Structure 1
């Protein structure tokens, strides 16, 4: 049985964003969003910048003074200077999932992107913009996150989470997951994976590489996003509400926030939560996340 909506719905600042605003990366008080043929920087006051690309796709990351964005048409990783809103490097990595469901991750002095659906992750050195390693993993490992001293890769078809040691560029553990696992986040002492086909979020102990709990959220989680912060897991959903808040310690759902808004992304900050709704052509800013799901 799915838990009913909990807690009062906080108000959101809603911005109209023409096109198809989707994946998000927080940049101070602003946020970058992928859109059709461009990435855009927005604040609560409106659009601040845009950078043209063939087909920006997937979850982006900001690290080493740059915004890193996959291009699903050119099959490249693009490096963008956020201050000048210009592309400073185009890296021919290959993109494992040109349909666009993937992550670019940062950690251990490197940028990581799934480069081949056969099961390859490219490691990029931001000092040289060159690929320094190609790491074999399970096929269709499109979803990446870095944290707890490791790179983590999820294969939807393989129903697996793999832990990769950045010191050796090798897989050191594999965890079996539920149906159609997808986006993941590392934080609050654990790895959190959306098991989209089961409608659950799995909590994995990073040291032991074992599932330590699951929470049933909806019948499915197609398609959404996930982040952590403030002792909570923040889950963008497609049915029933805009996002769900989960207590990272107890796995209790403490809030179901907003009206259903179709698919989109979510990013947490201590000042607020950003969500996108590409079918509704909006970005929303939910202020004061400490008050949500107490």
Structure 2
């Protein structure tokens, strides 16, 4: 009798299991579909402003949406990545080594601040963080900190010579010197370098997000992941033979890398440290910026901006 009852229990358990719905396999995300905008001139560096983007161009900065150009502001030669803060766009002007403050409401120049520009060739970053605007202002190794309430340089930070590349995130300002092959961590409370780590060949653009600082090692074709607390290189992702110029950003659980060779951009999984996707045909150098709705890229040699959207893909 006990054996019969046990057998019946097993049969019932198996029947219950078989009645449970099988788990459906996880669906892959919809592919990113590119919408191309023709942009005369030399559209290059990008800064996201809501559902629009600002781009540097020949003798002007321009605001674009997915349906076309919205506004433009003339200036001698905008250069490098721009910052968005205090209802203003902050743009380095290379030939005159100063900083333009432009209203995002009417695209008019509000003021011009004499800061100096560390790299007049234009590969540089202006960034916002800790209530301030940060500008690499002298190739000897100086970053200037501007208060947007007064439009004045309130202090300077001594850094490695040749520090041109900046990013703000994870509670600190991060600065790369390509010449010294270094990443420096700057504490905004003390305005001082509080950590440093050696990098590979020709480090360049960087981004702080997804739990780490990510730096293009342009001469090695790799992206270095740096632990923001220990200041150690905790991994490297090989992408191609080189990563000369291009751009990098984080968001939505990924690292977004604008490349020059092989593809328009690559997507890096920060957990597996592998390239998960490569999109587009190689289109020369340009910039990349993540938004929750999609990805903006520029291709100045092709005179285009592109918006890559999974929503567009789903609709089609």
Q: TM-score range by the shorter chain?
A: over 0.9
Structure 1, residues 242-290: CA drift from partner, whole Å, max 9, x if none?
Answer: 000000111111000011000000000010000000000000000138x
Tell me the TM-score normalized by structure 1: 0.95
Q: Is the 8 A contact 1:9 1:258 kept in 2?
A: no
* Corresponding residue of 1:261: 283
Structure 1, residues 148-201: CA drift from partner, whole Å, max 9, x if none?
Answer: 111110000100000011111111011100000000000001100000000000
* Alignment partners' CA distance in 2, 1:168 and 1:242: 39
- 1:186-225 aligned at under 5 Å gives the runs 186-225=208-247
* Corresponding residue of 1:43: 65
Residue from 227, 237, 242 that aligns with 2:264: 242
Runs (4+) off by over 6 Å: none
Q: Is the 8 A contact 2:33 2:310 kept in 1?
A: no
Q: Is the 8 A contact 1:57 1:71 kept in 2?
A: yes
* Corresponding residue of 1:180: 202
* Corresponding residue of 2:25: none
Displacement after TM superposition at 1:74 (Å): 1.4
Q: Secondary structure at the match of 2:123?
A: coil
* Alignment partners' CA distance in 1, 2:110 and 2:58: 20
Residue from 118, 127, 136 that aligns with 2:149: 127
Q: Secondary structure at the match of 2:260?
A: coil
Unmatched segments (≥5 aa) in structure 2: 1-28
Q: Secondary structure at the match of 1:144?
A: strand
* Corresponding residue of 1:277: 299
Q: Is the 8 A contact 2:216 2:224 kept in 1?
A: yes
Count of residues paired in the alignment: 286
The structure with the largest alpha-carbon Rg is: 2
Q: Secondary structure at the match of 2:250?
A: strand
* Alignment partners' CA distance in 1, 2:172 and 2:59: 33
* Alignment partners' CA distance in 1, 2:78 and 2:299: 16
Q: Is the 8 A contact 2:30 2:310 kept in 1?
A: no
Tell me the TM-score normalized by structure 2: 0.88
* Corresponding residue of 2:108: 86
Q: Is the 8 A contact 2:87 2:105 kept in 1?
A: no
* Corresponding residue of 1:65: 87
Displacement after TM superposition at 1:9 (Å): 6.0
Unmatched segments (≥5 aa) in structure 1: 1-6
* Alignment partners' CA distance in 1, 2:51 and 2:190: 36
Which stretch of the first structure deviates more once superposed, 115-124 or 58-67?
58-67
* Alignment partners' CA distance in 2, 1:259 and 1:8: 19
CA RMSD of aligned residues (A): 1.6
Higher RCO structure, 1 or 2 (CA under 8 Å, sep 6+): 1
Residue from 28, 42, 45 that aligns with 1:23: 45
